[in-house]
Amino acid sequence: MELNIVGTNAITYPAMHVWDWRVAIYLFLGGLSGGLMTMSAINYLRPNRTPESTCSWQIPVLAPILLTIGLFFLNLDLERKLNAFWFYLTFKPVSPMSWGAWIVLIIYPLMILYALASLPKDVKGKIITNPAIRNAADTLQPYLLLLAKVNVIAGIILAIYTGVLLSTLVARPLWNSAILPVLFLTSGMSAGAAVMIIVAQSKEVKLFFTKIDIWLIITEVVVLLLFFYGHYTGDAAHRQAIMPFFSGSHEFFPYFLSIVALGVCLPLAIVLKFLEVTGEHTEELTTSGLLLMNASAVLVLIGGAVIRFAIVYAGQLSGYGGYM
Amino acid sequence: MPRYVMVIDQSRCVACMACVVACKRENDVPAEHYRTRVVEMVRGEFPRLRSEMRSELCNHCDNPPCVNICPTGASHKQADGTVQINRRKCVGCKACITACPYDVRYINEEHGYADKCSFCQHRLKEGKEPACVATCIGRSRMFGDLDDPNSEVSQILRETSWRTLKPEVGTKPNVYYINQFPRKS
Amino acid sequence: MAFSRRNFLKYAAMSAGGTLIADTPFLSARARAEAEGGNVRYVPTSCEMCFWKCGAIAKVEKNKQGEDVVVKLEGNPLHPQSMGKLCARGQAGIGQLYDENRLKRPMIRTGERGDGQYKEVSWEEALNYAADKLKAVIEKYGPESIAMLSHGSPGDYFTNLLKALGSGNIAFSSFAQCKGIRDAAWELTFGHKPGSSCERVDLKNSKVIVLLGTHLGENMHNSQTQEFAEAVGHGAKIICVDPRYSTAASKASLWLPIKPGTDTALLLTWMNIIISEELYDKAYVEQYTVGFEQLKESVKQYTPEWCAKETDLQEADIVAAARDLGRYAPNVVIHPGRHVAWYGNDAQRSRATAILNAILGTWGRPGGMWLPAKGKFASFNDGYPKYSDPAKAPVIKGDYPFAGGEGLTQVVRDTTITGQPYPIKAWFICGTDAMKALPDQRQTLKAIANLDLMIAVDILPSETAMMADIILPECTYLERHDGLFKVEVREAGVGLRQPAVEPMYDTKPAWWIASELCKKMGLADFAVKDSWEARMRRQATAWGIDYDKLADTGYVSLPDSAFPYITADNQPEFKTDSEKIELFSKKLEEHNFDPVPKYEPTDEPEKGMYRLLYGRSPVHTFSRTINDQWLWELYKENQVWLNKKEAESLGVKDRQYVRLENQDKVVSDPIQVKVTERIRRDCVYMVHGFGHNAPRLSRAHKSGADDQQLITRYKVDPITGGTGMRVNFVKIIKEA
């Protein structure tokens, strides 16, 4: 067929170029900070927790920081940044973006309250100079358990939400899958566990989250396979939507590469983690053991980022009909 | 309240681009940006060829994904059936651009808001047809009120077979296409 | 119950809560402006983005600085050539008005001719300089050594100047490079041209429409394309004869991808079929034509079988088309075409078109060709003295017995080069880019090199204008009065051009420039007495028209002027010697031409070469609109259409840049290939007017490639002097 179109906009034709790395980073960091909220709260709530689990305060502090960085990238993408206040003069029940804006608004204080509550006394003295805030932190301490429980849920909501936005876009078949939020949830949780492993000092915490992460990665891989399978068995547009990942053609090489990367990173991480969990460990982790643990955690983070980037970009290549 | 629809008779489109320029001038659309376009598709092998022409624009859907996704209510559906943008409320998040299966939206780069065809809302208020319809050389574009059973568009949609673009997406467009090919008499 | 748009609009206006202002269609600029209030004005005028002269309405608003700005152009619903609509170019007229590349002030050349070095001067200085130079040329070589090449409205005013000076060497490209050949051929047949500005084709009522190379839709003649779409819409049979699958072909029920150069064979064969199968209009032929027997005898030789071979078409299609024409006659029309300067035997092909129309009885029949309107316009010359006859006869008709009054541009050029029969040493170039309009640019450059003086009157710094010694910047059609225009469609009427805004920069209307030059040349009697508008008023009075009403509505029709079809008391007049339609032309016989058209084959391309065909884009008028930002944006550069199989054998990919080299080894600028099924294998096609070599045109400069550059060869039609330009062959050169 010979096609001639006069009057196309560069933002949508011949390929859609609406969202780029800024949104991908936002989605990654959003999912990661959700994962961190949940994982750090789980760390606090888990039974048999030893008092010297030092990462119990750094992670709660890290979560809002990462979310802020993510929102900074999202803000970079807004064409009218000064108009952002309109998000909070409206609530649109059918708009996932409106939900997102409000969720962030509610989750932020939960994160910060939890972070303040979880600060140990000595640390509090060092990093908080403002007496009012120090007082507030002191007041919050008794509610730490409650805040941790709330944060488990809030983290899950945040991580899911990052996938909900894309999944509602019926016009982009790759995104328009109910599995996508679950994929982003598992990926976000897994990334959260990975950061726990890296930041935690104690062997015990590291091994605990390594065990958790094995299950999370396995779930993530299964969900990812189901995601592709769902598209493959869906209508023509959905099947077409995943083609960039599997065509292997020159044009779509980066997408092919992303599948290869996921195919290496995630299974390798599982294997490494399995070895870590089953292996014999001395009282203190050896340097090489530590390195291996951190390396497998980094693999998980790479996998999480690759998923966000690949899906954000490939989704914009997908569409209904076109000119045939 | 009227219910505005457009009917496009593809057999009468001569791909002259009058609508494209009229729209740009009427609505002060920035350079290299468009609210309407003309598509020409030729299938077959020499000398057995078949050509299809049509103009495309915002479908002012009854189930508009752009309105559903809009976080601030800037994109909204009006009682007259049209989908409009309240520029004041637009944050430029571009979700509506990705949400539109018809790729009819763009960002006004000078001001940052999303923009698209308004069915020339300002002209409708003055009782004029949209600029593209008014200047359509082939009278391929027709415009009117579907709630008025005597309107030209009502009559056509009642008596002719029509289709909408990408019906599988479920957007329920208000731009209807008739006569995909000229009659081969 | 009848439905109407007006009802809808009324309802819409009320329900939207607006005041009911535009419920009635446009009737008066003043009334509409008053109804809308505020700072808006409407100015009815006539478009000049091409030469169809559509009625347009300019919407003018005040900007923040309080200046008038044209914000929108719309078609005038009262005007029969626009019927309320404007094409893309008409809509984009604002782009010409506000083109920042416009010629802004008079300029005098300071460097070498063609190197672009100029100084800006005042009008007084420019006009004095021009007058001095003109006087020097006249002194040395006589007034006839001053010539003009023109296209469009400025030519009229300078025609007055040249005639007053004593030169008749005035030539418009519209004759030899365009439709003059056709006009002459139809005059030989019917005693009338097939139309004045619009062809008198009754497309909207046609049952069968034959288009020979006429690519309506891409060739955007407003009202005619509207009627064509109307015909397509109501299911008329379109038979499209074109080597290329054009927009019109895509609407056709029968596309005949004819071998280029063989159209006359097809026309003659159709006549043979129609005559031998007795499908022609016998009574009509009997009553209105002469020479039928000679025609019948002459076309016998052209059998469908022979024709199929000659034209590379299917015999069955050829016969079917002829039978369709016969079956639906006389409500059929074979379009006379417009640009017919193709193969150097074009008058005979146009004759064949005319004759085929005649035997089908289409002239004066619904769906055929309507009869000329009967509006009478009183002669008006505003009290100018008569021109004295030039001392030396103009050269503009060359040796061609049927060349028209518009003149032959290439003969003026040849005379400028050879100096025979007398030297031509000064050129006015008015509103035409001669480099793009005339075939063989090498000759044009040679002629320009021979000139003592070259004066350009133009709006944009085109390649040709930027070779002139003196450049006089004309204002655009939205900034000037240009006179009353006779509109001759089914009815007769009058349109006008009047300014929407004051001229920008230091530009002037052509009437003023020519008039001032008249004064400087001591011909004050020929200068405009007061203002052009005052002259228009006097002309309106002479024609019995209320000027104020015309200025308010943009169009006034002459009552009782439309008599489109033959009836018992509306008989056609044929202004031929026999007062009948001359199927056999004694006049041609007297000049030793075939009195009945005969087929002669055209040269064919050698192996590896393709015939170069050219045509138009709906968004551009020749080379003159390429720089318009609104139009350039839509079609920035032309492409060369190449058949897919040929492209495969050459290893050329779609959108790849190549160069074209013609038979004379002239190589084009790079041009993108459009690999397509939409064209025959023996030819390539490109849109005319691109590849400007004009650095001051920031958008058009070097956009695409120039077909005219490759048209170094042309075959002159011996009857009319038209320059057949589809006789060039090119090969594809892949860029390294």
The answer to whether the CB atoms of C634 and A2 lie below 8 A apart is no
Question: What residues does each domain of chain B span?
Answer: 4-63+117-178
Tell me whether residue A105 is exposed, middle or buried, using C-beta atoms within 10 angstroms of its C-beta: 0 to 12, 13 to 18, 19 or more: exposed
Q: Which chains touch A (3 or more CB pairs under 8 A)?
A: B, C
Q: Using CB atoms, list chains with 3+ pairs below 8 Å to chain C.
A: A, B
Token couple for A10: 């560069």
Place of tokens 């460990």: A281
- pLDDT number for residue C22: 39
Residue range B11-61, pLDDT digits in tens: 999 999 999 999 999 999 999 999 999 999 999 999 999 999 999 999 999
Structure tokens at B88: 């004041």
**Whether C477 contacts C47, CB under 8 Å:** yes
What residues pair up with C570 in beta bridges, in sequence order? C567
φ/ψ bin of A248: left (φ > 0), alpha (ψ from -120 to 50), beta (otherwise): left
Contact B91 A2 (CB under 8 A): no
| Type of residue at C248 | A
Q: Which residues of chain C have pLDDT under 70?
A: 1-25, 736
Specify the DSSP element, H or E, that contains C193: none
Contacts of A200 (CB under 8 A, 6+ apart): A53, A54, A55, A206, A209
Contacts of C680 in chain B (CB under 8 A): 46
Residue C59's Cα: distance from chain center in Å?
27
User: What is the distance between the alpha carbons of residues C194 and C187, in angstroms, rounded to a whole number?
Assistant: 8
Say which of C8, C72, C229 has its CB closest to residue B137: C229
Q: With contact defined as beta carbons under 8 Å apart, do B184 and B13 qualify?
A: no
Task: Report the relative pairing of strands C426-430 and C146-150 from DSSP bridges.
Answer: parallel
| Chain A nearest-CA residue for C619 | A6
Pairs across A and B, CB distance < 8 A: 152
Contact C678 A6 (CB under 8 A): no
CB C469, CB C453: distance < 8 Å? yes
pLDDT of residue C735: 80
Across the interface, of B70, B106, B113, the residue whose CB is closest to A9 is B106
Give CA angle at C124 (C121, C129), nearest 5°.
75
The β-bridge relationship of strands C146-150 and C170-172 is parallel
Nearest one of C610, C630, C612 to C620, comparing CA atoms? C630
Cβ contacts (< 8 Å) between B20 and chain C: which residues? Answer: 88, 634
Residue in C634, C635, C678 nearest the CB of A2 = C678
What is the helix (H) or strand (E) element at residue C220, kind and residue range?
none
pLDDT at A55: 56
C616 to chain A nearest CA, in Å?
16
What distance in Å separates residue B152's CA from the closest CA in chain A? 28
Task: Please list every residue in chain B whose beta carbon sits closer than 8 Å to the beta carbon of residue C228.
Answer: 14
In this predicted model, what pLDDT tens digit does every residue of A216-262 receive, in sequence order? Answer: 999 999 999 999 999 999 999 999 999 999 988 888 999 999 999 99
C16 contacts on B by Cβ (under 8 Å): 2, 80, 124-125, 127
Domain coverage including residue A105: 21-317
C323: region left, alpha or beta (phi > 0 left; psi from -120 to 50 alpha): alpha
The single-letter DSSP state of residue C199 is B
End-to-end CA distance of chain B: 41
Asked if B182 is an interface residue toward chain C (Cβ–Cβ < 8 A), one would say yes
Question: Closest partner residue to C233 among B11, B131, B134, by Cβ?
Answer: B11
- How far, CA to CA in Å, does B31 sit from each of A8, B25, B107, B109, C628? 12, 10, 12, 10, 12
Of C627, C604, C542, the residue nearest C728 (C-alpha): C604
Q: Report the CATH number that the domain containing residue C709 is assigned in CATH.
A: 2.40.40.20
Comparing CA positions, the residue from C121, C129, C116 lying closest to residue C105 is: C121
Chain B residues inside the 8 Å CB shell of A172: 98
Domain hosting C17: range is: 1-28
**pLDDT at site C15:** 40
* Residue A153: inside a domain: yes
Chain A: give the shortest CA distance to residue C439, in Å.
Answer: 31
Q: In sequence order, what are the residues at sequence separation of 6 or more whose Cβ sits closer than 8 angstroms to the Cβ of residue C450?
A: C416, C417, C419, C425
pLDDT tens string A185-225: 999 999 999 999 998 888 888 888 999 999 999 999 999 99
Query: Which of B 119-148 lie inside 8 A of C, CB atoms?
Result: 124-129, 131, 134-140, 143-145, 148
What is the chain C residue with the closest CA to A5? C634
- Copy the structure tokens of residue A116: 């303040």
- Looking at the structure, tell me whether residues C223 and C350 fall in a common domain: yes
Return the biggest CA–CA distance within chain A.
73
**C725/C579 same-domain check:** no
The DSSP secondary-structure symbol of C164 reads H
Query: Whats the size of chain C, residue-wise?
Result: 736
Which residues does chain B have within 8 Å of residue A19's beta carbon, measured at their own beta carbons?
A: 94, 98
Which residues, including other chains, have CB under 8 Å from residue B59's CB and lie 6 or more apart?
B102, B104, B164, B165, B171, B173, B174, B175
Q: What is the CATH number of the domain that holds C278?
A: 3.40.228.10
Residue C614 sits in the same domain as residue C584: no
Query: Amino acid identity of A61?
Result: V
Q: Is residue C624 part of a domain?
A: yes
Query: Which conformational region is residue C195 in: left (phi greater than 0), alpha (psi within -120 to 50 degrees), or beta?
Result: left
Q: Residue A176: what are its φ and ψ, rounded to 5°?
A: -80, 70
What count of residues does chain A have?
A: 324
Alpha carbons A321 and A319: distance in angstroms, whole number: 7
Among partner residues C11, C75, C681, which is closest to B135 by beta-carbon distance? C75
Which DSSP state fits C701?
A: B
ipTM field: 0.97
- Structural domain contains residue A37: yes
Closest in C13, C236, C634 to B20, CB measured? C634
Query: Do residue C328 and residue C205 come from a single domain?
Result: yes
pLDDT digits (tens, 9 = 90+) for A105-142: 999 999 999 998 888 877 777 888 888 888 888 888 88
* Position A9 in a domain: no
Number of domains in chain C: 3
Cα–Cα distance for residue pair C199/C201, rounded to 1 Å: 6
Cα separation, A285 vs C165, whole angstroms: 108
| B108 neighbors A96 (Cβ within 8 angstroms) | no
Whether B31 and chain C come into contact, CB under 8 Å, resolves to: yes
The average pLDDT across B76-105 equals 96
Q: How many CB pairs under 8 A join A and C?
A: 6
A2 contacts on C by Cβ (under 8 Å) = 676-678
- Tokens 């083109």 correspond to what residue? C99
Q: How many domains does chain A have?
A: 1
Q: Residue A78 and residue B114: Cα distance in Å, rounded?
A: 11
DSSP C702: T
Distance separating alpha carbons of residues C730 and A149, to the nearest angstrom: 80
C312-320's contacts with Cβ under 8 Å and 24+ in sequence apart are C312/C257, C312/C258, C312/C259, C312/C262, C312/C680, C313/C256, C313/C257, C313/C258, C313/C259, C313/C266, C317/C254, C317/C256, C318/C256, C318/C266, C318/C269, C318/C270, C318/C273, C319/C273, C320/C254
Interface of C with A (CB under 8 A): 634-635, 676-678
| CATH number, position A61 | 1.20.1630.10
CB-CB under 8 Å, B24 with C8 = no
User: 């944009």: which residue's tokens?
Assistant: C460
Residues 62-121 of B with CB under 8 A from C: 80
- In this structure, which topology does domain B4-63+117-178 adopt according to CATH? Alpha-Beta Plaits (3.30.70)
Q: Which of B17, B92, B166 sits opposite A79 (nearest CB)?
A: B92
